[in-house]
Amino acid sequence: MVIDREIITQSAQETQKLGEELGDWIRKKVNGKRQKGREESVATVICLYGELGSGKTTFAQGFAKALSVTTRLLSPTFIIVRRYQSEKLTGFLYHLDLYRAGGEKDLPGLGLPEILADSDSVVLIEWAEKLGNLLPKERIDARFSVMKEEKHSISICKIS
C-alpha cells in the first residue's frame, strides 16, 4: 500500500495514479466498514498539505477516478467546497480547498460539521492545516513537495 512511505513521482500522471491507488484502498475500507455495520458517524478524511503547485489537486483527480466520479474534478479554490457523486460510495466525495479561508473563523457556513459526521462520505481537504482545532483526530495525512520540476515527493500516513 501507499501508506507510510515517501513516494517520488516523476510526472503528474504518476501522482494521479498514486491518488487512484489510495482511492481504491479507501473505497474498500469505507464499503467494508459499512457491511460490518459499524456506524462510527465520522467521514473518512484525507488531508492534503503542501505548497502551491505541489500536486494536491492532481492527486485528488486520481483519487476521484477510483471512486468512479464522472464529473471532472476541478480545483475548488474559489468555491472552497465541491461535492461529487460517486458510483462506488453510498455517500459523496467532498473536495475542499481551504487556501482562501482565513482561518477557523471563516469556516462556519461551509457545513463542515455535517460533512465530517457523514460516515458514508469521503472528504479530501487541501490546505487542511487551516482547520486548526477542527482537524479530525482520525485521518490520513498526505504531504506534497516539489523536489525538482516534475519530481514531486508524496508521503502518506495514517493518524489516529
Ligand X SMILES: Nc1ncnc2c1ncn2[C@@H]1O[C@H](COP(=O)(O)OP(=O)(O)OP(=O)(O)O)[C@@H](O)[C@H]1O
> Are 106 and 97 spatial neighbours (Cβ–Cβ below 8 Å)?
no
Write the CA distances from 136 to 126, 128, 154, integer angstroms: 14, 10, 21
Residue 95 bridge partners (DSSP): 82, 124
Partner whose binding site includes residue 81, from ligand X, Mg ion, none (CB under 5 to 8 Å by kind): none
Distance, CA of 92 to CA of 69 (rounded, Å) = 9
Quote the CA–CA distance of 98 and 79 in Å, as a whole number. Answer: 9
126 part of the interface to ligand X, by CB under 6 A:
yes
Shortest Cβ 105–ligand X spacing (Å): 21
Q: Does 44 participate in binding ligand X (rule CB under 6 A)?
A: no
Size of the site for ligand X (CB under 6 A): 21
Binding status of residue 12 toward ligand X by CB under 6 A: yes
Single residue of 27, 56, 139, 152 touching Mg ion by CB under 5 A: 56
DSSP-derived letter for residue 126 is E
Residue 119 interacts with Mg ion (CB under 5 A)?
Answer: no
Give residues in contact with ligand X (CB under 6 A): 9-12, 14-15, 50, 52-58, 75, 97, 99, 126, 144, 150, 152
The footprint of Mg ion (CB under 5 A) covers: 56-57, 75, 126
